[in-house]
Amino acid sequence: MQTIGIGELQKNMGILTHLTEALTIVDKRKNKEIAIVYPMQGQQKKSVVDELAGKFNKYAKNVDVNKPFDQIKEEAMMEAMKEKYDFLD
C-alpha cells in the first residue's frame, strides 16, 4: 500500500487514474490517515477514439484500416458531396 500526502494528490490528480494498488491519503500536518483509495476492479481501457468521440460515438463509422488512404479519402469526399448536393444513389 502506498502513502501520499494531500498536497501531492492536489498537484497530480492523474495518480488516481493510473492507480494499480491501494493508496492511503495522509494529512502530514496532523499525522492522520484520511482515506484509503482502491483501484477499480474490472476496469477496461477505452480506445482513444471512443474517448474523444464522447456523445457522438454512436455516429462514428468503423473504418477498414486495410483500405488504401486514397480510397478512404475518395469515399469521404463522395459522401460529403452527396450530403451537400443532395445526390441519391
Residue 13 inside a domain? The answer is yes
Residue 57 confidence (pLDDT): 65
Task: Enumerate the H helices of the chain as residue ranges.
Answer: 6-11, 14-17, 48-53, 69-85
Residue 78 inside a domain? The answer is no
Q: Is the sign of the CA dihedral 13, 16, 19, 21 positive or negative?
A: positive
Per-residue pLDDT of the chain (89 residues; tens, 9 = 90+): 889 998 888 888 888 888 888 999 999 899 899 999 988 776 666 667 667 777 776 666 666 778 888 888 898 898 888 888 876 65
Residue 44 inside a domain? The answer is no
Domain span at residue 12? 2-37
Residue 53 inside a domain? The answer is no
Number of folded domains that form the chain? 1
Residue 32 inside a domain? The answer is yes
Q: Please name the helix (run of DSSP H) or strand (run of DSSP E) that holds residue 25, with its range, or none.
A: strand 23-27
Can you give the pTM of this predicted structure?
0.45
